[in-house]
Amino acid sequence: QVQLQESGPGLVRPSGTLSLTCGVSGESISSSNWWSWVRQPPGKGLEWIGEIYHIGNTNYSPSLKGRATISVDKSKNQFSLELRYVTAADTAVYYCARSPGFLADWGRGTLVTVSS
């Protein structure tokens, strides 16, 4: 069974960079899956952020206006999200997921608060 675990700082300063990592167990990150990030502001709906394939192909939501970068570390079987120039609007629970198209397996999520 695939398990995913998000990790990273829970507090980020405005205009700073949010950095999260998703550790994957039970499946090689080099398998035929995309690996995705989704977020959910408090009390609101889900927002798709982007995805990466193990050879480096990426897709991002246009709404993030080029602020996001997703990368993969095959040696550690993990992938990461960087979101630059954050504001309070980026405060959310961030989820990582295994994606054979749809989002088949999800991490438990991690809350990131943007505040000074």
**Is 35 an interacting residue with respect to another protein (CB under 8 A)?**
no
**Is 10 an interacting residue with respect to another protein (CB under 8 A)?**
no
**Is 88 an interacting residue with respect to another protein (CB under 8 A)?**
no
Name the segment binding another protein (CB under 8 A); options: 16-24, 55-63, 68-76, 78-86. Answer: 55-63
Do residues 94 and 109 lie in contact, with contact meaning Cβ atoms separated by under 8 Å?
A: yes
Q: How far is Cα 114 from Cα 59, in angstroms, rounded to an integer?
A: 24
Rounded to the nearest 10°, the torsion over CA 116, 91, 107, 74 is: -70
Q: What are residue 75's phi and psi, to 5 degrees?
A: -65, -30
Among positions 12, 24, 36, 68, the unique one binding another protein when judged by CB under 8 A: 36
**Is 27 an interacting residue with respect to another protein (CB under 8 A)?**
no
**Is 106 an interacting residue with respect to another protein (CB under 8 A)?**
yes
